[in-house]
Amino acid sequence: MPATVLLTEREPAARDLLERQLPHDGFELAEPGCAPDLVLAADDGEIERWRGQAPVIVLGRAEAGAVERVRAFRRGCDDYVTRPFAYDELVERMRAVLRRAGSAHAPLTAGPLVVDRRARVVTLGGRRVELAQKEYELLVRLAQEPERVFTKDELLREVWGFRTRSRTRTLDAHASRLRRKLRAAEPTAALVDNVWGVGYRLLEPSPG
The pLDDT tens digits of the residues spanning 82-97 come to 888 999 999 999 999 8
Beta bridge partners of 82: 60
Decide if pLDDT at 106 tops 80.
no
Q: What is the pLDDT of residue 184?
A: 94
| Digit-coded pLDDT (tens) for 52-88 | 778 899 998 878 788 888 888 888 889 999 888 999 9
What pLDDT shows up at residue 207? 64
Q: 208 falls in which pLDDT band (50, 70, 90)?
A: low
- Cβ atoms 60, 44 nearer than 8 A: yes
pLDDT of 186: 92
Other C-beta atoms closer than 10 Å to the C-beta of 106 total: 12
Task: Assign 35 a pLDDT band (cuts: 50, 70, 90).
Answer: confident
pLDDT at 18: 95
Cα 143 from Cα 184, distance rounded (Å): 18
Mean pLDDT of 164-173: 82
Boundaries of CATH 3.40.50.2300 in the chain?
A: 3-104
Using alpha carbons, select from 144, 145, 150 the residue that is nearest to residue 171.
Answer: 150
Write down the number of H helices and E strands in the chain.
7, 12
The CATH topology of domain 3-104 is: Rossmann fold (3.40.50)
The closest of 32, 76, 24 to 54, measured between CA atoms, is 76
- Tell me what pLDDT residue 173 has: 95
SS (H, E, C) 98-160: HHHHHHHCCCEEECCEEEECCCCEEEECCEEECCCHHHHHHHHHHHHCCCCCEEHHHHHHHHH
Closest-CA residue to 35 (of 100, 116, 109): 116
The ranges of the chain annotated as CATH 1.10.10.10 are 108-201
Q: What is the mean pLDDT of the chain?
A: 87
Please, which pLDDT band fits residue 129 given cuts at 50, 70 and 90? very high
Average pLDDT over residues 4-32: 90
| 84 preceded by a cis bond (ω within 30 of 0) | yes
**Any bridge partners for residue 56, and if so which?**
39
Tell which CATH classification among 3.90.550.10, 3.10.310.50, 3.40.80.10, 1.10.10.10 matches the domain 108-201.
Answer: 1.10.10.10
Residue 200 region, left (φ>0) first, then alpha (ψ -120 to 50), else beta? Answer: beta
Of 119, 134, 111, the C-alpha closest to 206 is: 111
The H or E element spanning position 80 is strand 79-82
The rounded percent of the chain whose pLDDT value lies above 70 is 93
Least confident of 24-28, 35-39, 47-51, 177-181: 47-51
